[in-house]
Amino acid sequence: MNLTYTPAQQAFRAEVRDWLACHVPAKRLASFDDSRDGFEAHRTWERTLHAGQWGMVTWPVQYGGRNVDLISWLIFEEEYYRANAPARVNQNGIFLLGPTLMEFGTAEQKARFLPAMAAGDEIWSQAWSEPQAGSDLAAVRSSAMREGDHYVLNGHKIWSTRAVYADWAFGLFRTELGSERHRGLSLILFPLTAPGVRISPIARLDGKPVFAEIFLNDVRVPVDQRLGAEGQGWAVCMATAGFERGLMLRSPARYQVAAERLVDLYRRHGDPNDDVTRIAVHRSWMDAQAYALSIYATASRLSAGGTIGAESSTNKIFWSELDIALHQTALAILGPRAELLPSAPTAHRDGDWLEDFIFALAGPIYAGANEIQRNIIAERMLGLPR
Amino acid sequence: MNLTYTPAQQAFRAEVRDWLACHVPAKRLASFDDSRDGFEAHRTWERTLHAGQWGMVTWPVQYGGRNVDLISWLIFEEEYYRANAPARVNQNGIFLLGPTLMEFGTAEQKARFLPAMAAGDEIWSQAWSEPQAGSDLAAVRSSAMREGDHYVLNGHKIWSTRAVYADWAFGLFRTELGSERHRGLSLILFPLTAPGVRISPIARLDGKPVFAEIFLNDVRVPVDQRLGAEGQGWAVCMATAGFERGLMLRSPARYQVAAERLVDLYRRHGDPNDDVTRIAVHRSWMDAQAYALSIYATASRLSAGGTIGAESSTNKIFWSELDIALHQTALAILGPRAELLPSAPTAHRDGDWLEDFIFALAGPIYAGANEIQRNIIAERMLGLPR
Amino acid sequence: MHFAFSSEQLMAAEVTTQLLQAHCTPALLRQLLARDAAREDSRWQALSEMGLMGVLIPTDAGGLGLNETDFVLLAEAGGYAALPEPLVEHAGVAAPLLAQVQPGHPLLTAMASGTSTLAIGHPINPFVADADTATALLLVHGDTLHLVRRDQTHITRQPSIDPFRRLYQVDWRASDCTRLDGAGPSDALLDQALNRGALFAAAQCLGLAQRSVHLAVAYARERQQFGKPIGSYQAIKHLLATAQVKIEFARPVVYAAAAELATHAPHAAMRVSHAKLAACEAAELATRTAIQVHGAMGYSWEADVHFFLKRSLALHAAWGSPAFHRGRIAHHIDGQPLGPDHTFYNGTGHV
Amino acid sequence: MHFAFSSEQLMAAEVTTQLLQAHCTPALLRQLLARDAAREDSRWQALSEMGLMGVLIPTDAGGLGLNETDFVLLAEAGGYAALPEPLVEHAGVAAPLLAQVQPGHPLLTAMASGTSTLAIGHPINPFVADADTATALLLVHGDTLHLVRRDQTHITRQPSIDPFRRLYQVDWRASDCTRLDGAGPSDALLDQALNRGALFAAAQCLGLAQRSVHLAVAYARERQQFGKPIGSYQAIKHLLATAQVKIEFARPVVYAAAAELATHAPHAAMRVSHAKLAACEAAELATRTAIQVHGAMGYSWEADVHFFLKRSLALHAAWGSPAFHRGRIAHHIDGQPLGPDHTFYNGTGHV
């Protein structure tokens, strides 16, 4: 056990920090969910990152990475959040599909998709859920019927983040006619610009169109856009979801930076008589530390050849609850001004606490509702009967 | 709405207070669970209460009561807890079986059982659970087979509080051979001294024998010791349980006095820098107030002819969680001395916080585990599907 | 001692609830937003015709001359419907304050009939709600109260996450002409107004909480996953049952606070603070639970539950932050007798 | 940066766990109680033969010369078994303190072999654990440390709810003969001892918590109600999953604290406090959850889960109350840089 960074890791941190100091836009980019302009500004930032070879540092150099270990990735993330750099518009690609491609993709698929992903040339959306398949993901009905060397996609996907402006999407489809539940599913990649794809935005509870429905009507995609073996989509998808929840979905640095700002907010605006809020501030900081330590332990285990199991479900519960508690504490500090939108003339200018609180509310729902995660922990980690 | 006591109620309070001041034993009685002596000392106290006509003030005068309303009963309880009067050894009788007898008993049964109950001449134990019937109370297997004008009881009851020294017990028995679940059950009263009854004590987690198993082997009881119609035991038992949970099982005064003592304990021994504990003290006090207000509302509704429904389940959850939180807060104030038994020479002498904490741990389990109560709230109060 | 509403009070609440059920549906709320209108005049009129605006206005001035116990269920009904119009601030807070200061003030009659609306700028709140649609504003300058015509102020909208909150920063000039002279020191009057504001905010929170549970129950009965309604899963049942328990033990505190405020019980302020804390917690838990039960749908603009979440969020620190109210509780605990004979005012201490 | 134990460390923990699985079963605990014996000598000997008593004693004195990272999993294993013998206080706290003060003290060799036991009376704790079976006691008088033979003291048992806690009030007289002169001021040494005590109490709590979940899982798989194992009900599953989440996010804090204490990282005291708080909370939740899952059986003397509840209760305020440890966290937050580059000692500040 060694909880100090190597000189190489320290040098890496310095390099990341220096580069970000020179390149992070001084002015905050417009949201990538609100407008095409904001989206494209984030794509430009992805290209800037890629030009600096920072698109996804753990990837092999040939795909645009630096071939560094997961600890270095964590260092990168720490510096990235410290620098308040733009949100990653391609997170569905680089953190979710990327690792899956790395594990299940053919050499051709990796060469085809990873560099374009790292470069920001292809921004990805996910297409997991369907109207009747939310927590019950295996209830997927959308189909991909084989016709020669193509699949013909039909169906209706929903809650697809980024889909309004993204270039590509990946999702589960039934490739076996009449198959049920987890059987007969395949993971298929498809361009959102293909004929027969229709995108319909869905507004979040604050009215921002951060999701979309994807309607697929006889969309033809070549067979080599299937990831993993035909009919094995469920296993591929579970690996993706496990990896997502276990490590990459939420960098600990995100919460550590938020907790640091929360401490600062309390120092400047907190009511010194408000014990409850002070305690909550300290707890948020401790929980963010605990989450970071846990992820360092996971990264160390993976680096030593270990795998991620059902304990990834514990991560998702922990960070989603931490995220809500942290932002709720910030709103408590802001008191009667907490409800103000940024457009209010007298709104505080101390960070996007309200917006981030709204975002945090989704945490216990997406990437598998926390109720499902608790089932997984109970059944797969603890061995309770189904 | 009128939240002031009538002159009659104020006079009643004064009378209770004066009487208790003169009669409550100066020295605390030995526990009624630990020894026959302690049990009999409590029986003697019940007789003293009865002599003062305080056994169960809401009952008709002919059964030993004063025929006062439920508000007066609450006032009695408030004064009783304020005076630190002995615990009611016959609580299974007066608070649980008594109201059930009042509702379902025949005139003869009331005359036969209620006065002896109020007088402390017959101390009651409950016999609900069986080894395979805990949360699943309808899984009762013990039987009461009719033979002429008697039932013959056979079976095995468990977790019977008071049964080691009590005189009588009441419980559910199958009176219909081969009946299943809620059907074919009857509520039967039987003396614990009857031939064929064997009592085996069970120790609580601190080693004190507060429960017992009751083994019944061809125990003959007259048919008129059945309460309610034959085969209607489930309905009678549910009414009993509802009444218990809804009102009588736990007087709010119990928690209000405990909260008052907690505030005092914190004043004298609390660490002024311990925000978390101070907040918990205040919360316990508020929750005890909220519980009292809720019970006053219930009593007012019942006095006006209302009934107790599934919301009695909300009570049980609330007081059981309050009870644990309150005593846990007391232990936090006591710090490293909290773990000491009263026999420790340097133990604090500030009340039985540890013992009461241990007692509180049973709260979410007995009288229907809180998980069962949440099912009841969801299904019967909110209308969610079974 | 009778801790229950009269049949008249229950009837008034029931009628109000039914009116709002018809005239304040989520669909109508969405229409109001689409029109970008400040209020729905027909709804305001309907509520006025029921007499709701005058509940706390003396009969001499055309009101009903009732008290907080009569109004609390109406405020709760407003929360249950996420009512956008300022029923509570106008009729529950501003009206009785003006009536206390100048029982014969001519504005009261127009207020009782709902033809004039009075907004209130209380020092505990940084903004004035619904200043734009108010005929006049009750404002504070130093230790004096002022009644200011809307056109004597300059107001700036402060948009809230709750699209139906119409908060304004108010710039104005105090003068002898605007000053309201009347009975009693303004401190005591403002404390009472704060207590009414906090009490009725608590009552609204109760309504928001209960509605959120009801919306979630309705959704959970319909929505199927893994072949059965999600409401049949114990996880969903227990989430909602836990929220309902919170509501059940906030409700009697809110009702007791109303009764004690109405009778000027000495510990009424403490009870109001308890009510505000308990009801806000219940609303917070219930609205969040409702969103969770709705799943992704609950996080969308489509489902109605967000209206209740946002109102709950807005009321959380209105009329005193939780820290303010906890401070009042602590003060009571530190200084007053606490035993079970002191639950109500004329407990044993007064036998 | 490698946040994982070595295979040697994992192996030692595994062997210890297996030994305790065989030699520290709940049935054996009950036998010990029935005999009213202070400790099980054969178990102590078996642990000693494994070298556990000397982990933190220098090799020169017959120990293994290892550090806190090597001991933390052993303390956790002790918690998992509810080990009655003072492995942690003797080998985890008293031994390294004596070794720091007088690395060549002759008692250390007997301590490393387990033939002598050293008890410790640290000012943060009101009592001395296992003073009765100790050969000698490390005690504090003013700012001096003393090594006192058992027969130089008068001890009074202070019975705890945990029947295996053997707490004593110790009366003794400090003298020049008993004083231990050695390197460094006693304040710093006592702080380090406190940190070890708190860290290993936290490790024990982790073990207690995990064992409680395991006992509850085993029971829930067997116990049938309504025709199926109670462990198949979502309510039970979610209670236990929630407890497991608490454990998972206490564990890395405890392990990091061990590593940072071993390397004298400047923020080690903060981390120890975090570890103590998190692990105590996990143990509290897990033991209570386990009792709830066991139902009435869990509230009885018959089920084993109460042994773990009682130990958790006893360790809650041992080696610093939660308020003490929260105070150290607050001090760190108020005075130190907090960003993600400061998670570990040589973060960016030291690039």
Q: What does the pLDDT look like over A4-16, one tens digit per residue?
A: 999 999 999 999 9
Instruction: Compute the distance between CA of residue D313 and CA of residue B204 in angstroms, rounded to an integer.
Output: 17
What are the residues whose beta carbons fall under 8 Å from the beta carbon of D214, sequence distance 6 or more?
A: none
Q: For a pLDDT cut of 90, what percent of chain B falls above it? A: 88
Task: Work out how many CB contacts closer than 8 A connect A with B.
Answer: 8
Q: Name the A residues in 235-294 with CB < 8 Å from any B CB.
A: 275-276, 278-279
Interchain pair D240, A11: CB under 8 A: no
Average pLDDT over residues D121-141: 97
Q: How far is A284 from chain C, CA to nearest CA, in Å?
A: 19
Burial class (CB in 10 A: 0-12, 13-18, 19+), D133: middle
Burial class (CB in 10 A: 0-12, 13-18, 19+), A147: exposed
Tokens 């002191």: give the residue: C342
Residues sharing a CB contact under 8 Å with residue B15, sequence separation 6 or more, in sequence order:
none
Smallest CA-to-CA distance from C162 within C312, C44, C58 is with: C312
Question: Using an 8 Å Cβ cutoff, are B341 and D161 in contact?
Answer: yes
pTM attached to this predicted model: 0.97
Catalytic residue among A78, A122, A130, A244: A244
Sheet of C179-180: strand order equals: C118-120, C136-141, C144-149, C179-180
C316 CB near a chain A CB, below 8 Å? yes
Q: Is pLDDT of B332 > 70?
A: yes
Tally of CA atoms within 13 A in the half-sphere of B75 that contains its CB:
27
What is the count of residue pairs from C and D with beta carbons less than 8 Å apart? 11
Q: Which helix (H) or strand (E) holds A216?
A: strand A211-222
Task: Yes or no: say if D121 and D101 are a contact pair by the CB < 8 Å rule.
Answer: no
For residue C52, the SS3 value is helix
Burial of A180 (0-12, 13-18, 19+ CB in 10 A): exposed
Torsion region of D114: left, alpha or beta (phi above 0 gives left; psi -120 to 50 gives alpha): left
Measure the CA–CA gap between B305 and B299, rounded to whole angstroms.
10
- Tell me the pLDDT tens digit for each residue of D299-348: 999 999 999 999 999 999 999 999 999 999 999 999 999 999 999 987 54
Say what the pLDDT of residue A245 is.
Answer: 65
Residue C165, pLDDT > 60, answer: yes
| Cα–Cα dist D200/D190, whole Å | 15
Q: What pLDDT, in 10s, does the model give residues C54-79?
A: 999 999 999 999 999 999 999 999 99
HSE, side-chain direction, 13 A CA sphere, residue C301: 17
CB contact under 8 A, A369 and C292: yes
Smallest CA–CA distance from B303 into chain C, residue: C2
pLDDT, chain D, mean = 95
Instruction: Answer yes or no: is pLDDT of C350 > 50.
Output: no
- Phi first, then psi, for residue B141 (nearest 5°) are -115, -20
Residues of C in contact with A354 (CB under 8 A): 161
- How many Cα atoms within 13 Å fall on the side-chain side of residue D87? 33
CA closest to C236 among chain B residues = B378
D76/D247 Cα distance (integer angstroms): 12
Residue A160 near residue A213 (C-beta atoms within 8 A): yes
DSSP E strands, chain D: 118-120, 128-129, 136-141, 144-149, 154-157, 167-171, 179-180, 224-225, 228-229
B residues 28..47 contacting A (CB < 8 A) = none
- Nearest Cα residue to B95 out of B232, B227, B250: B250
What is the predicted pLDDT for the residue at C349? 42
**B341 Cβ contact list (under 8 Å, min separation 6):** B347, B354, D159, D160, D161
Chains in touch with D (3+ beta-carbon pairs under 8 Å) read A, B, C
Q: Nearest C-alpha of chain A: how many angstroms from C318?
A: 6
Q: Mean per-residue pLDDT for B206-214? A: 93
- What is the rounded distance in angstroms from the CA atom of residue D91 to the CA atom of residue D47? 11
Residue B124 confidence (pLDDT) above 60: yes
Non-local CB neighbours of D100 within 8 Å, separated by 6+ positions: D182, D183, D184, D189, D192
Average pLDDT over chain C, rounded to whole? Answer: 95
Instruction: State the burial class of residue D177 (Cβ atoms within 10 Å of its Cβ: 0-12, 13-18, 19+).
Output: exposed
Residue A62: count other Cβ atoms within 10 Å of its Cβ: 11
CA D317 to chain B, closest CA, distance in angstroms equals 5
Residues of A in contact with B276 (CB under 8 A): 279
Where b means 16+ CB within 10 Å and e means fewer, D187-225 reads eebbebbbbbbbbbbbbbbbbbbbbbbbbbbebbbebeb
At how many degrees (to 10) do helices C41-49 and C7-23 cross? 160
What is the Cα–Cα distance from D77 to D217, expressed in whole angstroms? 19
D307 class by beta-carbon count within 10 Å (0-12 exposed, 13-18 middle, 19+ buried): buried
Residues of chain A with pLDDT under 50: none
State residue D349's pLDDT score: 42
Which chain C residues are within 8 Å of A204, Cβ to Cβ? 299-301
Share of chain C above pLDDT 90, in %: 95
Contacts of A279 in chain B (CB under 8 A): 275-276, 279
Residues with Cβ < 8 Å from D229, sequence gap 6 or more? Answer: A385, D220, D221, D222, D223
Among B325, B286, A271, residue whose Cα is nearest residue C270: B286
Q: With contacts defined as CB-CB under 8 Å, which chain B residues touch D169?
A: 345-346
* Bridge partners of residue D154, in order along the sequence: D171
**Cross-strand bridge partners of residue B222:** B150
Long-range CB pairs of D146-155 (<8 Å, 24+ gap) are: D146/D172, D146/D174, D146/D178, D146/D179, D146/D180, D147/D98, D147/D105, D147/D107, D147/D178, D147/D180, D148/D172, D148/D178, D152/D178, D155/D128, D155/D131
Cα–Cα dist C99/C57, whole Å: 6
List the catalytic residues of B. Answer: 244
Q: Which stretches within A154-307 are classed as H helix?
A: 233-243, 252-269, 275-303
Question: Nearest CB to A290: which of D220, D249, D348?
Answer: D249
Instruction: Write the CA distances from A255 to A29, A93, C98, integer angstroms.
Output: 21, 22, 49
A282: closest chain B residue by CA: B276
Give the distance from residue D234's alpha carbon to the nearest chain C alpha carbon, in angstroms: 6
DSSP C79: H
Question: Smallest Cα–Cα separation from A157: which of A180, A184, A174, A133?
Answer: A133
How sure is the predictor about C348, in pLDDT bands with cuts at 50, 70 and 90?
very low
C233 touches chain D (CB under 8 A): yes
Q: Enter the tokens of residue D103.
A: 């690395």
CA dihedral C276, C278, C279, C281 (to 10 degrees): 110
Residue type, D306: H
Query: Which residues face A168 on adjacent strands?
Result: A124, A191
Higher-pLDDT residue of C142, D212:
D212
Q: Is the ipTM of this complex over 0.90?
A: yes
E strands present in chain B: 124-127, 143-147, 150-157, 168-174, 185-191, 197-202, 211-222, 226-227
Which H or E run contains A374? helix A370-376
Residue C147 contacts by C-beta under 8 Å, 6 or more apart in sequence?
Answer: C98, C105, C107, C136, C137, C138, C139, C178, C180
Smallest Cα–Cα separation from A113: which of A36, A224, A39, A214? Answer: A224
CB contact under 8 A, B279 and A275: yes
pLDDT for C351 equals 33
Q: What is the pLDDT of residues D51-70, one digit of tens each?
A: 999 999 999 999 999 999 99
C4 and B CB contact within 8 Å: yes
Of B163, B187, B135, B158, the C-alpha closest to B370 is B135
Q: Which of B275, B276, B339 sits opposite D162 (nearest CB)?
A: B339
Hey, are the CB atoms on B297 and C3 less than 8 Å from each other? Answer: yes
Nearest CA in chain A to C158: A344
Judging contacts by C-beta atoms under 8 Å, the chain D residues touching residue C235 are: 234-235, 238
Output the pLDDT for position B77: 97
- Which residues are registered as beta bridge partners of C160? A340
Give me the mean pLDDT over the D217-236 stretch. Answer: 97
What is the model's pLDDT at position D351? 33
